[in-house]
Amino acid sequence: MKFYRCQICGDPFMGDAKPSHCPFCGAHQDYISTAADWVDENQTIGELTEISRQNLEKALHLEVNNKAFYLDASGNADTIELQGIFKNLSKIEGEHASVIRKMLKVEAPDPDPGREAAGVSDHDNIVKARELEEAASAFYAQSALDASEQRVNKVFKVLSEIESDHIQLETALLDRGI
Ligand SMILES: [Fe+2]
Ligand SMILES: [Fe+2]
């Protein structure tokens, strides 16, 4: 058994081999180090530029809102499988909020009162979730381009990839007829 640690979310975990994705934030394997080689990249961000701060603040709200959306969708899910999938997605979005919160050095806000709410239809929730993920992925890709700080650029690039993975997952669920 070895100890690994994610360069994006910072969480350590044990395993026999590097997983394909971080079990906490979903970052791809390239961003997983051994615990011994892990570096706290947040220590060297320095002062955030105004555009990065604004984008990170918007991203934090987005993640907190999407976490709440998936949690509601999990509670309303018709099957054990979807309950689990939505619950996992909620946890991942919560982990993303935590990644961003640490960069901004703030506490996570409550979900916005006017946020998108999940309904009772699994199909409709997946369709809505995919729209939310598409908006997030596109916003993060642009935010990566806006960022002159290496760490901020990297985090936004990776978050954009992870949300794209969620889009694919949700498309596959809809293709199954859910
Ligand atoms: Fe991670
Ligand atoms: Fe996310």
Per-residue pLDDT tens over the stretch 148-176: 999 999 999 999 999 999 999 999 999 99
Reported as a single tens digit per residue, the pLDDT across 49-77 is 999 999 999 999 999 999 999 999 999 99
Cα-to-centroid distance, 171 and ligand 1 (Å): 23
Ligand nearest to the CA of 33: 1
Ligand nearest to the CA of 67: 2
Closest listed residue to residue 69, CA positions, set 136, 139, 141: 136
Ligand nearest to the CA of 7: 1
Tell me the residues surrounding ligand 1 (ion) with CB < 5 Å.
Answer: 6, 8-9, 22, 24-25, 27
Instruction: Report pTM.
Output: 0.97
pLDDT score recorded for residue 99: 98
Is residue 137 a contact partner of residue 163, using CB atoms and an 8 Å limit?
A: yes
Cα-to-centroid distance, 160 and ligand 1 (Å): 14
Is residue 71 a contact partner of residue 125, using CB atoms and an 8 Å limit?
A: no
Cα-to-centroid distance, 27 and ligand 1 (Å): 5
Tell me the residues surrounding ligand 2 (ion) with CB < 5 Å.
Answer: 63, 93, 96
Q: Domain 44-175 adopts which CATH fold?
A: Ferritin (1.20.1260)
Is residue 129 a contact partner of residue 170, using CB atoms and an 8 Å limit?
A: yes
What average pLDDT is seen over the chain?
Answer: 98
